[in-house]
Amino acid sequence: MNDLEPIASLLPASLLRRRRPDAAAAAARAAWPEVAGAHVARHSLPIRMSGDALVVHCSSSTWASELTLLAAHIHAGLAEALGESAPARLRFEVGELPAPAEVPQQPARQVPDEAASRDARRLAAGVSDERLREALEHAIGAARGTQS
């Protein structure tokens, strides 16, 4: 006699529904290193959809605050990368991130053209943390245009 039962029969249906893969969040997660830039991607990752908002976990409240200020630029990059499947809104919150080895590999770094670089420097100028400012400049520059 086999007394084993599928685990799904023991869990509430509402829990099972929440754990199904979220295609929209998965697509955003795959595009994230390119859209946000490598340094930003090490401190943030799209986790799930909540209504029409993509919830992005950040490694600290500082990262969540800075990315909230740059949400329009990041959203534009996601819209370009994902087209109509891009989320309507972004929500940044402090949360767990996978270990660095689990983060998907990023594509080759793009080089922003001069106009995009100037615009990126202007938009990120108010960020006091030098490494974060440089990462944001790269992300904005990459979203604005690159050289081939």
- pLDDT digits over 23-32, tens only? 899 999 999 9
Q: Does residue 105 form part of some domain? A: yes
Residue range of the domain that includes 117: 22-144
- Judge whether 102 lies within some domain: yes
Lowest average pLDDT, out of 10-14, 69-73, 103-107, 130-134, goes to: 103-107
Which residues, including other chains, have CB under 8 Å from residue 61's CB and lie 6 or more apart? Answer: 94
Structural domains of the chain, count: 1
Number of Cβ within a 10 Å radius of residue 117? 17
Q: What percent of the chain has pLDDT over 70?
A: 76
- The pairing of strands 89-94 and 44-50 is unpaired
34-52 confidence digits (pLDDT tens): 999 999 999 999 999 999 9
Residue 29: predicted pLDDT: 94
The pLDDT of residue 6 is 73
| Residue 14 is assigned to a structural domain of this protein | no
Mean per-residue pLDDT over the chain, rounded: 82
User: Is 11 within a domain?
Assistant: no
